[in-house]
Structure 1
């Protein structure tokens, strides 16, 4: 029987940012009281922060009530996969200079809707994993603990 290496690799902080920079779609998790919500958002990485655009609505309201968020992005091929989770705080960009800088980013809505609000997530912690995809190992025999 062929020995396989560990199919899970923990990513360094820089590797997490590198993977995030290659992706355009992620999921924002908000919490207000006991209610958790998750929203798909398209985004860009800017100076080790995450920036996305949004319209007025529940996402922006929830971020105003509680700025602590989780953000997750991932991707896969037939051979490998990765996932990065960001724990951080989100704030709406409000000054003219902030908005002007965000307007210069390569960030356009995926759907034809007007989204005038920019939000920046500042990471407090990142965790990421890369996965090698392969056939399931033999299920017979003694399982390691």
Structure 2
């Protein structure tokens, strides 16, 4: 993401996919008052997640997903309640 001063920054976040809508949504979880939330709400962002499936032995499959879209902060009780089943677990 790019902040108001034009600097690029990266944040570790927890994520999950919400399949409840016609279009799937990526749900990111941050701490209350987090800099990420304040700097991305209402902005276009890019998000990448990579992973490896399989055990330590072969065959393994590596994958990468890149998403682009508009970030939205959800703070109201109804919105947060709707996201409860998504289960974005903290580290």
Q: TM-score, normalization: structure 1?
A: 0.49
Partners of 2:16 and 2:72 in 1: CA distance = 15
Deviation at 1:92, TM superposition (A): 0.6
Q: 2:83 aligns to what?
A: 102
Partners of 2:40 and 2:87 in 1: CA distance = 23
1:73 aligns with 2:54: no
Deviation at 1:103, TM superposition (A): 2.3
Q: Does structure 1 retain, via aligned residues, the 8 Å contact 2:51–2:62?
A: yes
Q: 1:34 aligns to what?
A: 6
Q: TM-score, normalization: structure 2?
A: 0.74
Deviation at 1:106, TM superposition (A): 1.6
Between Structure 1 and Structure 2, whose CA radius of gyration is higher?
1
Find 1:82's aligned residue among 40, 60, 63: 63
Q: 1:6 aligns to what?
A: none
Partners of 1:80 and 1:105 in 2: CA distance = 25
**Mapping of residues 1-145 of structure 1, within 5 Å:** 30-32=1-3, 33-47=5-19, 48-55=24-31, 56-64=33-41, 67-77=43-53, 78=58, 79-110=60-91
Q: Which runs of 5+ in 2 are unaligned?
A: none
Q: Which has the higher strand share?
A: 1
Partners of 1:103 and 1:80 in 2: CA distance = 31
Q: Which runs of 5+ in 1 are unaligned?
A: 1-29, 111-145
Partners of 1:108 and 1:81 in 2: CA distance = 23
User: How many equivalent residue pairs?
Assistant: 80
